[in-house]
Amino acid sequence: MIIIELIILAVIAFLLLVITLWKRKSPAKLREIPALAQLSRMLGLSVEDGTSLHISLGSGNLLDVRGGSALAGLAMLRHIAERTSVSDEPPVASAGDPVLGLLAQDTLQAGYQTAGVKELYAHTSGRVAGLSPFGYAAGAMNIPQDENVSVNIMIGHFGPEVSLLAEASERGSVTNLGASDNLAGQAVLFANTQESLIGEELFSTGAYLGAGASHLASLTVQDILRWLIILALLGGAVAKFMGII
């Protein structure tokens, strides 16, 4: 079983490498996702208005299955930090996991350095707001109101506790955007945000924000794997119907 898993990972890695090299030579054609289109506009508006953005990375643990959503949030944070680093009010990132909090600080610093303004980076812009899901929500819900935030971006692992963040932002007239890899959290975000990302759209934020060819390639690999799974399911159904299995 482990050998099969390693083979699958090797095939995925090979596809990702090949398609990344191909994407660097050909322009990307992406379907429009309203939430990400709005996010791109809000990034520019926040710089013009002198307001900040709050990026909530959730309570994901990088050592388990929740790590994927946390990495997607960090990829988005890097691009946002680079684009808004010269704003009067720099972005603020919060996390509900110590390791994720340290990575948020490192990602912000890398974004500032890429933008050539590393002297403007402040360690307090990346912080751990709590060590449990509801503790994190309680600690982060005041950030939009206390730090002149115009957009609250919630990307990561969130459960029902994300309703506290969304409600606090709405009370402060802050625009909410969100996505979660948890069904309960996704349902709350869908009902309480102006625009939400559904399903695997969570992992497309880097590609839509121009994070690089590897992010574009990851979308193509997702599509390839999705079709392979569909074909496998259809093939299994036909084989079962014909009595082969």
Q: Look at residue 83 and tell me whether its pLDDT is greater than 70.
A: yes
Residue 153 lies in a domain: yes
Stronger pLDDT, 63 or 181, i.e. the higher one? 181
DSSP code for 242: T
Question: What's the one-letter identity of residue 9?
Answer: L
Residue 2 lies in a domain: no
**CATH code assigned at 84:** 3.40.50
Rounded Cα distance between 60 and 67, Å, is 6
* Residue 52 φ/ψ, nearest 5 degrees: -105, 165
Closest CA to 105 of 116, 86, 91, 88: 91
Question: What's the one-letter identity of residue 19?
Answer: I
Residues in the chain: 245
Instruction: Give the residue numbers spanning the domain of 166.
Output: 37-211
Q: Is 95 left (phi over 0), alpha (psi -120 to 50) or beta?
A: beta
Residue 195 lies in a domain: yes
Mean pLDDT of 212-222: 72
Rounded Cα distance between 84 and 103, Å, is 18
Residue 136 lies in a domain: yes
Residue 139 lies in a domain: yes
140: number of Cβ within 10 Å: 28
Rounded Cα distance between 57 and 26, Å, is 32
Mean pLDDT of 220-228: 81
Domain count for the chain, please give it: 1
Per the prediction, the chain carries an average pLDDT of: 81
Closest CA to 152 of 50, 66, 34, 46: 46
Residue 9 lies in a domain: no
Residue 18 lies in a domain: no
Q: What is the dihedral of CA 216, 217, 222, 223, to 10 degrees?
A: 90
Task: Enter the pTM of the model.
Answer: 0.78
Question: What's the one-letter identity of residue 32?
Answer: E
Residue 17 lies in a domain: no
The predicted-structure confidence for 103-128, as pLDDT tens digits, reads as follows 999 999 888 888 888 888 888 888 99
User: How do 92-95 and 126-128 pair as beta strands?
Assistant: parallel
Rounded Cα distance between 84 and 51, Å, is 10
199 to 53, 180, 209: CA distances (angstroms): 23, 8, 18
The predicted-structure confidence for 149-198, as pLDDT tens digits, reads as follows 888 888 888 988 898 888 888 887 888 888 888 888 888 888 887 777 77
Is residue 127 within 8 A of residue 107, CB to CB? The reply is no
